[in-house]
């Protein structure tokens, strides 16, 4: 699909991702917002892989807009997909959809080429929809790099996972609130993150995270994040007390705080850290200890 944008008025400079000229915005607020709204990115990836004689092969790859997917490895057992956003980030009003199907007996890992940045918005939310369908005997590892939120970000994300009765999934999502090394904080904004996981159509796991308004102030509260600027969730299905005991054995080595629990065939670990670098160290340590497969090479960059 070709995404067409309206051209900007001749007297204005097209705002770049993450903002524009402050003087122009003050002088022409309505016109600038019209231009901003006209330059939204729309992207979609639809990917299907299938097992074939002991190998996992790509069966369908569909790309639209600014999203691309590349396949850097030659592992016959597991296909590795790397999602690339050629727009260089996500801004308010952008819409991205990712549909992934892992066929019966296939194995797939999905990661990102870099940390995804979500910039401030003049009004509308950025929208991200992820749909993962894992068939019988299949395994999916969803391992994107961090999502970095900028001040005055507004983003809504839905992650929907459908598992067959014996399918497995490892799902990691990490969120960093501002780049600490550059002195950034997310003073205000909105983060709405909705996860739903179903096994054979039956709800297995559901949660919703919503941070709205004074985000930095809320993160500073002890019951929320105790001042941490980076959080992550690791979901392992199937998972049991072995996952919990393995993670707890590492507690003296963590840079931040990590909590873990297991119930009804699910294991989940929560991470809080002072910044993205500390969060990644703890995630890599846990993923390695759990022996959940080789991490994508891009995670070490």
- Going from the C-alpha of 61 to that of each of 17, 70, 114, 272, the distances in angstroms are 27, 10, 20, 35
C-alpha to C-alpha distance for 227 and 215, rounded to whole angstroms? 11
Gyration radius from the chain CA atoms? 20
Residue 114 lies in a domain: yes
Residue 96 lies in a domain: yes
Q: Which two tokens stand for residue 96?
A: 């991205």
Q: Which two tokens stand for residue 123?
A: 């009004």
**In a structure prediction context, what are the per-residue pLDDT tens digits for the chain, which is 301 residues long?**
333 333 333 333 333 444 444 444 444 444 455 555 556 778 999 999 999 988 999 999 999 999 999 998 767 789 999 999 998 899 989 999 999 999 999 999 999 999 999 998 877 899 999 999 999 999 999 999 999 999 999 999 999 999 999 999 999 999 999 887 677 788 889 999 999 999 999 999 999 999 888 988 888 888 888 888 999 999 999 999 999 999 999 999 999 999 999 999 999 999 999 999 999 999 999 999 999 988 888 887 6
Residue 280 lies in a domain: yes
C-alpha to C-alpha distance for 204 and 168, rounded to whole angstroms? 13
Task: Count the neighbouring beta carbons within 10 Å of the beta carbon of residue 250.
Answer: 16
Residue 171 lies in a domain: yes
The total of structural domains in the chain comes to: 1
140-170 residue pLDDT tens: 999 999 999 999 999 999 999 999 999 999 9
Please give the pLDDT value at position 11.
31
Q: CA quadruple 158, 298, 116, 285: dihedral positive or negative?
A: positive
237-279 residue pLDDT tens: 999 999 999 999 999 999 999 999 999 999 999 999 999 999 9
Look over the chain and give the mean of its residue pLDDT values, rounded to a whole number.
86
Residue 28 lies in a domain: no
Residue 144: domain span:
41-300
């Amino acid at each position: 699909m070709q995404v067409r944008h309206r051209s900007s008025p001749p007297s204005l400079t097209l705002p770049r991702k993450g903002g524009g000229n402050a003087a122009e915005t003050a002088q022409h607020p309505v016109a600038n917002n019209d231009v901003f709204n006209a330059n939204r990115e729309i992207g979609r990836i639809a990917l299907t892989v299938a097992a074939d004689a002991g190998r996992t092969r790509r069966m369908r790859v569909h790309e639209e807009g600014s999203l691309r997917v590349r396949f850097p490895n030659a592992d016959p057992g597991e296909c590795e997909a790397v999602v690339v956003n050629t727009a260089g980030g996500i801004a308010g009003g952008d819409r991205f959809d990712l549909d992934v199907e892992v066929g019966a007996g296939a194995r797939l890992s999905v990661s990102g080429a870099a940390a995804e940045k979500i910039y401030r918005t003049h009004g509308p939310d950025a929208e991200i929809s992820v749909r993962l369908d894992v068939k019988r005997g299949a395994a999916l590892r969803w391992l994107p790099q961090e999502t970095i939120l900028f001040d005055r970000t507004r983003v809504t994300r839905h992650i929907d996972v459908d598992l067959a009765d014996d399918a497995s999934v490892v799902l990691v999502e990490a969120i960093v609130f501002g780049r600490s090394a550059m002195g950034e904080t997310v003073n205000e904004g909105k983060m709405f993150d909705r996860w739903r996981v179903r096994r054979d159509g039956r709800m297995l796991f559901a949660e919703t995270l919503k941070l709205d308004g004074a985000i930095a102030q809320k993160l500073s509260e002890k019951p929320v994040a105790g001042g941490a600027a980076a959080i992550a969730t690791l979901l392992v299905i199937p998972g049991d007390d072995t996952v919990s005991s393995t993670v707890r054995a590492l507690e003296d080595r963590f840079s931040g705080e990590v909590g873990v629990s297991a119930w009804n065939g699910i294991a989940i670990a929560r991470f809080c850290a002072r910044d993205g670098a500390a969060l990644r160290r703890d995630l890599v340590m846990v993923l390695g200890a759990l022996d959940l497969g080789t991490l994508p090479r891009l995670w070490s960059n």
